[in-house]
Amino acid sequence: MTRRPRAVVVVTGSELVRGERTDRNGPFLAGEALRYGLEPARITIVGDAPAELEAALREALKADACLVSGGLGPTHDDRTVELLARAAGMELVVDEALEREIESISRAVAERLRRPYADFAPGVTKQARRPVSAVSIGLAGTAPGLVFRAPTGCVVVVLPGPPGELRRLWPNAVASEPMRELLDGTRPPGRRVLRLFGVSESAVARALEGAGGDGEGVEATICAREFEIHVDLMVEPGAEARAEALDLALAERLEQWLFARDERRVEELVLSLAAARGLRLATAESCTGGMVAARLTDVPGSSASFLGGIVAYADDVKRTELGVPDELLAEHGAVSAEAAAAMAEGARERLGADVAVAVTGIAGPGGGTPEKPVGLVYLHVAGPDGSLRRVLDLPGEREQIRMRATVTALHLLRALLLGSHDEAVQRPRLA
């Protein structure tokens, strides 16, 4: 087992280190580092105070790769490049070609804003400065991404803070000379993924133990994510047979909950199943208030199978828009298996859909009773081949109850589209 090159991610932003915004760049860069065969050792989030930022960069330069995001703007408190050069002991030079490139963009901006170019000139020169051996990997607005090798041997990648821009420039960093040299010496680990629904994290941990456990070049991570359990097997070169055996033993033990072998979200799986069978989908939501529809329509091209939905928050809307009978609501209440079934059938009929999913429950914090407590949720999926129903008794707060009800609704849709009639297959168990 060879040691993988160590990567450190440094993210800078005052609003990030103060907890006012959640960083997305650190997890992205760490995940990419892993994928290319580096070992993400640390993510450091730091503000723009020069001493703090320089100290973080100085430590990061001890790694084999240092991936930095943010602090590339034109103003005086954007100090990443200057402090990197100082921490690495490298000279800072103005790149004249880069300066001309940034100038032409800034002139266009000045013209559009009807402001004198002189306002922009100092920022242009500032943004064209780079450590002496660094090369630009492209501009994000007027900020260049940079790659260079520090005197410590560390390969340094500098990327802009806005997540979209960072992701756009990242492939250029990977393709750069210093990164290619670093990655040439590594073999990315293999990876196997098992995704499970309806089983607890601790039951999966016991199954892993029973299957022989990890080790010997295979590292297993069990991770609860959005009411699903993801098992990741990271496989070092040479341990493929061991990984295959562990994977098979695990899959056998967890067969009834295993639903995917890749990273596609459950709404994508639902939409491909529906498209493959030519079935049109609809939703009828009470306590999830549109979240199931929102997740389905988050997928590009969802209009091929998804027709629409009714958010029936008030009982009147359940009656008028979904045709749930007055007597049913009076007898069983709006949070009941009967109401969920009527809502699903109503959505199919009103929207002309083949398959509809309905959710009704008590998300809290108010509205619970001893008979119908907060966390009680009824789900119903109806389609041409039959129906599936589920009742959940969810712990947690409003946000979590709604999220878990949404995920379960999507899994129930998936199960029905797969033609499952075995209700046990889809019964969620809590940790």
The candidate with the shortest Cα–Cα distance to 295, out of 408, 210, 206, is: 408
Tokens 């008979």 sit on residue: 371
User: Cβ of residue 133: shortest distance to a copy of itself, in angstroms?
Assistant: 28
Minimum CB distance to a copy of itself smaller for 131 or for 309: 309
CB atoms within 10 A of CB 78: 19
Minimum CB distance to a copy of itself smaller for 132 or for 314: 314
Give the pairing of strands 386-393 and 376-383.
antiparallel
Minimum CB distance to a copy of itself smaller for 92 or for 212: 212
Number of residues that bind a copy of itself (CB under 8 A): 80
User: Cβ of residue 96: shortest distance to a copy of itself, in angstroms?
Assistant: 26
The answer to whether residue 114 forms part of the interface with a copy of itself (CB under 8 A) is no
226: helix, strand or coil: coil
Within positions 179 to 208, which residues make up the interface with a copy of itself, using CB under 8 A?
Answer: none
Minimum CB distance to a copy of itself smaller for 306 or for 378: 306
The residues, any chain, with a CB within 8 Å of residue 257's CB and separated by 6 or more, are: 196, 197, 198, 199, 229
Q: Tell me how many degrees the CA angle 5-8-9 measures, rounded to the nearest 5.
A: 135
User: Cβ of residue 125: shortest distance to a copy of itself, in angstroms?
Assistant: 19
- CA separation for the pair 28, 43 (Å, rounded): 11
Choice from 5, 37, 46, 60 touching a copy of itself (CB under 8 A): 46
Of 96-104, 235-243, 359-367, 417-425, the window that binds a copy of itself (rule: CB under 8 A) is 359-367
The answer to whether residue 350 forms part of the interface with a copy of itself (CB under 8 A) is yes
User: Cβ of residue 387: shortest distance to a copy of itself, in angstroms?
Assistant: 21
279 class by beta-carbon count within 10 Å (0-12 exposed, 13-18 middle, 19+ buried): middle
User: Cβ of residue 306: shortest distance to a copy of itself, in angstroms?
Assistant: 5
- List strand residue ranges (DSSP E) for 186-285, in order: 190-197, 218-225, 228-235, 258-260, 281-285
User: What's at 219, amino acid-wise?
Assistant: E
Choice from 114, 116, 164, 326 touching a copy of itself (CB under 8 A): 164
Check residue 3 and report its DSSP letter. Answer: P
Of 20-28, 95-103, 132-140, 149-157, the window that binds a copy of itself (rule: CB under 8 A) is 20-28
Choice from 2, 31, 238, 331 touching a copy of itself (CB under 8 A): 31
Minimum CB distance to a copy of itself smaller for 16 or for 90: 16
Of 40-48, 80-88, 325-333, 336-344, the window that binds a copy of itself (rule: CB under 8 A) is 40-48
Minimum CB distance to a copy of itself smaller for 164 or for 370: 164
User: Cβ of residue 200: shortest distance to a copy of itself, in angstroms?
Assistant: 10
User: Cβ of residue 164: shortest distance to a copy of itself, in angstroms?
Assistant: 7
- CA separation for the pair 8, 360 (Å, rounded): 46
Check residue 38 and report its DSSP letter. Answer: -
Return the structure tokens found at 222. 């069990």
The answer to whether residue 235 forms part of the interface with a copy of itself (CB under 8 A) is no
Minimum CB distance to a copy of itself smaller for 386 or for 395: 395
Return left, alpha or beta for 375; rule: phi > 0 is left, psi -120 to 50 is alpha, else beta: left
Within positions 258 to 317, which residues make up the interface with a copy of itself, using CB under 8 A?
Answer: 283, 285, 287-294, 296-298, 300-303, 306-314, 316-317
- CA separation for the pair 203, 223 (Å, rounded): 12
Within positions 388 to 417, which residues make up the interface with a copy of itself, using CB under 8 A?
Answer: 396-400, 402
Minimum CB distance to a copy of itself smaller for 17 or for 134: 17
**Distance in Å from the first CA to the final CA of the chain:** 34
Choice from 123, 364, 375, 428 touching a copy of itself (CB under 8 A): 364
Return the structure tokens found at 340. 């969920």
- CA separation for the pair 379, 362 (Å, rounded): 12
User: Cβ of residue 320: shortest distance to a copy of itself, in angstroms?
Assistant: 7
Within positions 365 to 384, which residues make up the interface with a copy of itself, using CB under 8 A?
Answer: 365-367
The candidate with the shortest Cα–Cα distance to 242, out of 220, 221, 223, is: 220
Within positions 66 to 105, which residues make up the interface with a copy of itself, using CB under 8 A?
Answer: none
Cβ pair 281, 305 in contact under 8 A? yes
Minimum CB distance to a copy of itself smaller for 188 or for 290: 290
Q: Tell me how many degrees the CA angle 141-148-90 measures, rounded to the nearest 5.
A: 105
User: Cβ of residue 312: shortest distance to a copy of itself, in angstroms?
Assistant: 5
Exposure class string for 35-56: b at 16+ Cβ within 10 A, else e: ebbbbbbebbbbbbeeeebbeb
